[in-house]
Amino acid sequence: MSAKRRGGSALVLIAVGVLAALVVAITGTVMAILGGEIACIGGGGSAVAAPATKAAVREIPPKRLRIYQQAGQRFDVDWAFLASIGYQECGHGACAHVYPSGCGGPMQIAIVRESACSPGSGPTIWERYKFDADGGGADPFDPADAIFTAARMLRPVFGLGGDSYAAYREVACNYYGACADGVANYADEVMSRAVSYGFRGIGAPAPTGPAASEPAASGGGSSCGSSSPAGARGNEIVRIAQSQLGTPESPAETNCNPYGPCVEWCSLFVAWVWKRAGVPLEGSTATYAYSGSIYKWAEAHEGNPFAVPGPGDPPLSTPEANGARALPATATPTPGDAVLYGSGPEYGESAHVGIVERVFPGGQITTIDGNFGDRVARSGPFLPSQAVQYGMPGPVYGFAHPPSTGEGTDG
């Protein structure tokens, strides 16, 4: 139920009538934790959960992992598939707002009537299937409620009819409203990640990264534990950037673009995407037209009391720390970071800036760049240390990491 889904999707077409209210007995100890999540939820289904792999433990916050596992058990569905949907839709974050499509929350469930996600004036999918996992009232923005609701819907709404790889892949297509489109190869991405998390349904391919797909040590991710970052904002930055792929400047060879004034516009594109994802860049995108602006802004907002104001900040002010970071070229970036090329703004040369789309286990990255061949285009994969050899307009001199929303942590 991605924010990218268009009206008339399979989600709406296959929705069934309103079910009778479901009264659920939650057995065992139920613990309220920070952020409205619940740590240990009693189950009721018959599914035997596959153990979490090292990849799952590395990528999924411990408390969120426990919720995926308990929801899978409760509704007899594969928890690794459920978790992969959770990453695809919200990066295991909260996404605590409604998108223009009418979907919202950690699992991007339709919650607005007469929207692209839920055309018509009848009850939304959330209204039909909402599940109160912790006894505090069903809330589409509460991770436990959203995940349990999604698990509950896999069979009656999205047509899960078996435990095979093919059956779950079809569910992934239905969840998105398409198996793939110009924005995402949704079903294959979901299934590949589910396999890396531990999905072993009939016909599942062998994991492509055996070491990461080995079962984690006993207890890894299955007990209530400490927090780890989820990168919800980075995931949203990538989503927005992907939605712009192919957008050209118009007229051709004029530098006129949809993201700001008619100037070289790689940095305008990054600023536009970051602002759309909620990064608190002050001023218009034109403020960030220089390709080193984003890096200087991040540098100013790391909390250094001696930092000069960043672009968009009032003159002579001391920017407050907000979680942004300016990282060196040797750092490992994360999706949503800005990647910068040249000798660096301190030397007066910042040649280009793009957005990190994916980071591969071997260190390669793919990027989405504005004003690349006079349009928004994808580059890579390439190693940042080999950017020039790949054909980028200079060596990588650093990365700018956006501040967190505060939604992507569990605890």
Residues 397, 384 contacting (CB under 8 angstroms): no
Q: How confident is the model at residue 260 (pLDDT cuts 50, 70, 90)?
A: very high
Mean pLDDT (whole number) for 386-402: 92
- Tell me, yes or no, whether 283 lies in a domain: yes
Mean pLDDT (whole number) for 334-358: 88
Q: What Cα–Cα distance (Å) separates residue 307 from each residue in 212, 299, 337? A: 40, 8, 21
Residue 256 and residue 286 in one domain: yes
Indicate the number of domains in the chain: 2
End-to-end CA gap in the chain:
26
| Cβ-based neighbours of 346, under 8 Å, separated by 6 or more | none
Residue 205 and residue 241 in one domain: no
pLDDT score of 139 more than 70: yes
Residue 251 and residue 285 in one domain: yes
Residue 242 and residue 221 in one domain: no
DSSP per-residue letters across 272-336: HHHHHTT----S-GGGG-STTHHHHHHHHTS--TTPPPPTTSPTT--PPP-S-EEEETTS---TT
Mean pLDDT (whole number) for 155-174: 94
pLDDT over 70, % of the chain: 78
Q: Whose CA is closest to 353, among 282, 313, 297, 304? A: 297
Per-residue model confidence as pLDDT tens digits over 33-65: 223 334 344 333 334 456 889 888 888 999 999
Structure tokens at 391: 């054909």
Token look-up 């999205």 returns: 158
From CA 402, how far away is CA 223, in angstroms rounded? 30
Residues 161, 53 contacting (CB under 8 angstroms): no
Residue 126 and residue 257 in one domain: no
| Range(s) of the domain holding residue 336 | 234-401
Q: How confident is the model at residue 303 (pLDDT cuts 50, 70, 90)?
A: confident
Residue 70 and residue 170 in one domain: yes
Boundary-marking domain end, from 226, 258, 286: 226
Helices (H), 76-163: 79-90, 125-129, 143-153
Residue 293 and residue 391 in one domain: yes
Residue 274 and residue 210 in one domain: no
pLDDT at 17: 35
- Tell me, yes or no, whether 5 lies in a domain: no
Residue 89 and residue 150 in one domain: yes
pLDDT score of 254 more than 70: yes
pLDDT at 341: 96
pLDDT score of 340 more than 90: yes
- Tell me, yes or no, whether 409 lies in a domain: no
From CA 124, how far away is CA 162, in angstroms rounded? 26
Residue 383 and residue 298 in one domain: yes
155 DSSP assignment: T
- Tell me, yes or no, whether 2 lies in a domain: no
From CA 329, how far away is CA 332, in angstroms rounded? 8
**Which residues face 103 on adjacent strands?**
110
Q: Whose CA is closest to 26, among 45, 46, 42, 44? A: 42
pLDDT at 195: 93
- Tell me, yes or no, whether 200 lies in a domain: yes
Q: Whose CA is closest to 322, among 278, 280, 277, 294? A: 280
Q: Tell me if residue 268 falls in helix, strand or coil.
A: helix
- CATH number of residue 348's parent domain: 3.90.1720.10
From CA 93, how far away is CA 407, in angstroms rounded? 6
Structure tokens at 144: 């436990």
pLDDT at 223: 36
pLDDT at 184: 80
- Tell me, yes or no, whether 180 lies in a domain: yes
Boundary-marking domain end, from 162, 191, 226: 226
Residues 370, 285 contacting (CB under 8 angstroms): no
Token look-up 């399979």 returns: 10
From CA 10, how far away is CA 177, in angstroms rounded? 5
Per-residue model confidence as pLDDT tens digits over 280-299: 998 999 999 998 999 999 98
Q: What Cα–Cα distance (Å) separates residue 16 from each residue in 8, 10, 29, 156, 267? A: 15, 12, 34, 8, 46
Residue 110 and residue 175 in one domain: yes
Q: How confident is the model at residue 14 (pLDDT cuts 50, 70, 90)?
A: very low
Q: How confident is the model at residue 405 (pLDDT cuts 50, 70, 90)?
A: low
Residues 368, 242 contacting (CB under 8 angstroms): yes
Q: What Cα–Cα distance (Å) separates residue 236 from each residue in 16, 92, 181, 357, 404? A: 30, 11, 18, 11, 11
pLDDT at 235: 84
Helices (H), 131-260: 143-153, 165-176, 186-197, 232-243
pLDDT at 15: 35
pLDDT score of 267 more than 90: yes
pLDDT at 408: 35
Boundary-marking domain end, from 191, 226, 261: 226
Mean pLDDT (whole number) for 313-327: 82
pLDDT at 211: 54
- Tell me, yes or no, whether 408 lies in a domain: no
From CA 365, how far away is CA 362, in angstroms rounded? 9
Residue 220 and residue 257 in one domain: no
Mean pLDDT (whole number) for 172-176: 95
Mean pLDDT score across all residues of the chain: 80
**Which residues face 339 on adjacent strands?**
354, 399
Q: Whose CA is closest to 84, among 174, 6, 168? A: 168
Mean pLDDT (whole number) for 221-238: 54
Centroid of chain to Cα 144: 17
- CATH number of residue 122's parent domain: 1.10.530
- Tell me, yes or no, whether 271 lies in a domain: yes
Give the other-Cβ count within 10 Å of 236's Cβ: 27
pLDDT at 95: 85
